[in-house]
Structure 1
């Protein structure tokens, strides 16, 4: 769409010359709206199907200038595909048919993040074919590329109210999927724009002593240890503390690279979105409702660098909302599509769930996975098979005078009680279910000082001018 509005940034006099680098201020025309949803796990086109209540959802998506979602599937035709399912995959082999690209565009999506733990489930070939389909469908996407510079770069959407930049990264990713740049004669590596984290595990002192004793009896480990409050075992660092917890330290090199890409993205746009896919600290129903300890400072740092919105996804559950310097930080928007009718399923996944592809079906593997959580997460039992995983919100942010004026939260439900072939498609939640979702958002956002009012089964955050 043609970009034209009265608030365009023009070069200004500065120190005897012209400052041609735009400020980090928001610079969109009045009425600019951004719709943000969480994870899109979808295997088929939906516009022509019979999905009660879905039309109301589509209208919300289409009414925005920028409509964002996290693309957590690969798009290609398995009958002509030249790649293969990878030995290292994101817990499930997500796949969709080529028609999905045009269908997502018809639904209203024009921005997609690509950096996540499923980006290379089907290898570099699957990543590239998905990029091709999205390009042909006119959907701007970021987060993967032929090297780190490409995967980390901002990608741009032209709208009638301003130019939008998107930077996509993942803190949860498969190690072999991480992109890198060339070095000397060594070529760059295709893959994901990753933010590496160092995890520390805090344990009560008596439990830490048990870990120390295990370490001391293992071959290759020196007995004893100089620090009574720290034990390193099998690549994990354990520390003494009041209660069990996970803490994370972000790699400063990755942070600096991402920060630069945000700054560059804003310099070439009027509105910059940064989005992160992360499971940390885990995705259990009880623990994962709070962001990991590193994320608030990281999100704020990105907004200080020029981002106008921070969008989180990955734990498959809702998290709270913070308004920082007048800009929204959405820590997790849960699931938007959970239509996981994937086929085919790789042989490794059959093995992971003790299934036999000569006897069991793809659907039986998928149902088993959703009930127990991904086995690749250290045997952890997740929230994939619980009703709360099928409840979420659509976040609609509206800007006036280059300020966030209002953020509306439309509660949605994805049909947990329906049969497997029909669940996972959103519709607006109503009645007690809508109120439960919105009250959950109130409670999750309260620690950030965010006040959400409920009006006609819609959550509303209003900012003072």
Structure 2
């Protein structure tokens, strides 16, 4: 058990980022690592995002043609997360269904057995969307977890009559429009018409019904889109651009969970995993994430955690409540996954005639390892301090590195075999400053001023 403080004078929250981990770690004793445990354990409650499945390696992969890693680890790792001080974890992400419903349900069970409170996945939509509740001396904390970017077969749904529900993730689907100037829009329409793949509202074309298109929109119907709704929507505009909006049904359902959590708990967290971007993944959060973050706080959330791009993004203070658009990686250990399915080797272009000789160490196999990038291997532990009215008073950033220098070249500094260790350590010196300056620069457009003092960053008092 952790020695939690009475928080009648306000909440103290510790925040960790994305956990892609598959090695136990509680035996390590370096001061830079034990310091992380001290920071997490001294808070009233600690949050982290789990981007991993826990199972006994018997579940089958649920998909093929998948560039992403198939994330799976021994359940003992879940116990070490609890040892480290983490109390609540969001589970909704684009890897939740790597091993189908069996893997998803196993992960929930193993987290529960490790005394971790979770949210975001479940045996039906109601279970996936409901808040997870953590009970502590300081009060009751609620967590709502949702994900944007999963395939339709990964969305949890509800039972209908004698038809069973589908286990899955709590979705926050979006509609994305690709805006084109008149000339380019006409050219694309012409290409689509000549290829026989143009779809417009109201058209009755054998083999496809253009559901999900509004007036003025069109799409190109690719063969792989058979029986799918509204993928790749184009519209005419004055200039090029991409815009996105949340699905009204999902937005309403998630905000209803936030309102419920506000009524039934003392502190409400909202976690949103998005692997989609409006174009390339830059350093600016997509508009649908900004919209949902604001709506969530308007509905009663006390903090919003965004993740999915595996790098830190800016911080916004909205109506006295913090919004973190990108927490970044807290553990990065996909390089140590013990068992790799056939599909990964095929997708990454290995010689399938030599399948029996292929091993988990044969590169390339995992995104994030195919190039050195400092943002993948660094983030920060974040400590939040609220007043009695749950308005944010102070934010402290404790930078962490995962075994590579936080520079453009990102050389490995802590090895396991031939790879970076991927375990967090408190960063110092140039590494700390580079991490903090990134937070500082990306938060400025939101009007958030982060100050740097030595190896720490601060906002507020």
TM surpasses 0.5: yes
CA distance in 2, matches of 1:321, 1:305: 19
The answer to whether the 8 A contact 2:69-2:366 is kept is no
CA distance in 1, matches of 2:279, 2:82: 30
Q: Within the alignment, does 1:61 sit opposite 2:55 as a pair?
A: no
CA distance in 1, matches of 2:366, 2:288: 32
Residue 387 (structure 2) aligns with: 400
Where do 1:384-463 residues align within 5 Å?
385-402=372-389, 403-416=391-404, 417-418=411-412, 419=415, 420-462=418-460
- Structure 2, unaligned runs of 5 or more: 204-213, 222-230, 405-410
CA distance in 2, matches of 1:222, 1:348: 33
Where do 1:209-288 residues align within 5 Å?
209-221=186-198, 230-234=217-221, 235-241=231-237, 244-281=240-277, 284=280, 287-288=281-282
The answer to whether the 8 A contact 1:30-1:161 is kept is no
Name the SS for the 1:333 alignment partner. Answer: coil
- Structure 1, unaligned runs of 5 or more: 7-27, 373-383
The answer to whether the 8 A contact 2:67-2:344 is kept is no
Cα 1:414–1:242 shift into 2, 3 Å: farther
Where do 1:315-354 residues align within 5 Å?
315-340=309-334, 341-354=336-349
The answer to whether the 8 A contact 1:288-1:315 is kept is no
CA distance in 1, matches of 2:146, 2:165: 18
Cα 1:144–1:222 shift into 2, 3 Å: closer
Paired positions, count: 426
CA distance in 2, matches of 1:122, 1:239: 37
CA distance in 1, matches of 2:304, 2:62: 31
Name the SS for the 1:369 alignment partner. Answer: coil
The answer to whether the 8 A contact 1:154-1:166 is kept is yes
CA distance in 1, matches of 2:433, 2:267: 32
CA distance in 1, matches of 2:364, 2:445: 36
Deviations 1:73-117 (A, max 9, x none): 111122xx3x21112568221011121111111011111000011
Deviation at 1:366, TM superposition (A): 5.4
CA distance in 2, matches of 1:85, 1:334: 26
CA distance in 1, matches of 2:425, 2:239: 40
Residue 126 (structure 2) aligns with: 149
Aligned with 1:72 (options 41, 47, 51): 51
Name the SS for the 2:357 alignment partner. Answer: coil
CA distance in 2, matches of 1:230, 1:118: 31
Deviation at 1:204, TM superposition (A): 4.5
After TM superposition, the score normalised by the length of structure 1 is 0.85
CA distance in 1, matches of 2:184, 2:140: 53
Name the SS for the 2:257 alignment partner. Answer: helix
Residue 85 (structure 1) aligns with: 61
Name the SS for the 1:397 alignment partner. Answer: strand
Name the SS for the 1:36 alignment partner. Answer: strand
Q: Within the alignment, does 1:192 sit opposite 2:165 as a pair?
A: no
State the Cα RMSD in Å.
2.8
CA distance in 2, matches of 1:120, 1:367: 19
